[in-house]
Homo-oligomer: A and B are copies of this chain.
């Protein structure tokens, strides 16, 4: 057993640069803020470089966050987080296949619909947003993570410790471990391996349940995995 690596041993990701596509949205800004607070250089990507710059500035002059258009952001960073709306997800990724080649792409998109009864999971031809990313980015190392983070909590300056585990799914173990380590750079968060990409659908869809929980309990609910 001595030569077996513990599942809790993770690579050192200090100095890794992070891009957040869809970085002007709440979830994107929230993640960018937390990665920057942890000492990472962060690039927000948006369709409009100008809006990306404005969103980066709003996060505060003390944080190393810049804004670029999505293609520029994708080209600049070591790890690229995809936090765009589900509508347009496929088209954006198809258009960025070249700058994303060889990179770790972290999909955190939740394909959800909303009606008067609340949120529900949308069917996805490929099975999940993450599997769609994998299908259209065959040269990238696709990992799924950060589905359940509350943008409100991430952006709240009063919240020092974020009380949740980030489930990280992927078939490329080294890439998944890197993303787990990156999740762990957010104070309070653990990056927990959550299975292969073929089991990403239910993790994305579970966001609909968290929305129901938030409504019932007036909370910003998250998950912790017990016995791990």
Binding site for B on A (CB under 8 A): 7, 117-121, 163-164, 167, 169, 192-196, 198-199, 201-203, 205-206, 208-209, 211-213, 216-217, 219-228
Contact = CB atoms under 8 A, between A and B. Distances in A.
Contact of A209 (B167, B209, B220): B167
A203 B201 contact: no
Between A167, A208, A217, A220, the greatest number of chain B beta carbons within 10 A of the residue's beta carbon is seen for: A217
11 contacts: A7-B216, A117-B198, A121-B202, A164-B226, A193-B212, A195-B212, A195-B213, A199-B205, A203-B206, A222-B227, A223-B224
Main secondary structure on A side of the interface with B: mixed
B223 A228 contact: no
B212 A208 contact: no
Given A121-B201, A202-B121, A226-B163, A194 B219 contact: no
B217 A7 contact: yes
Given A7-B217, A121-B202, 15 more contacts: A7-B216, A119-B199, A121-B201, A169-B209, A193-B217, A195-B212, A199-B209, A202-B206, A202-B209, A205-B205, A213-B225, A217-B227, A219-B228, A221-B225, A223-B223
Q: Which 10 A-B pairs have the closest CB atoms?
A: A195-B212, A202-B205, A202-B202, A224-B224, A219-B227, A195-B209, A222-B226, A163-B226, A217-B228, A202-B206
Contacts of A196: 117-118, 212
A6 to B, nearest CB: 9
A217 to B, nearest CB: 5
Contacts of A119: 199
A202 B222 CA distance: 15
A203 B195 contact: no
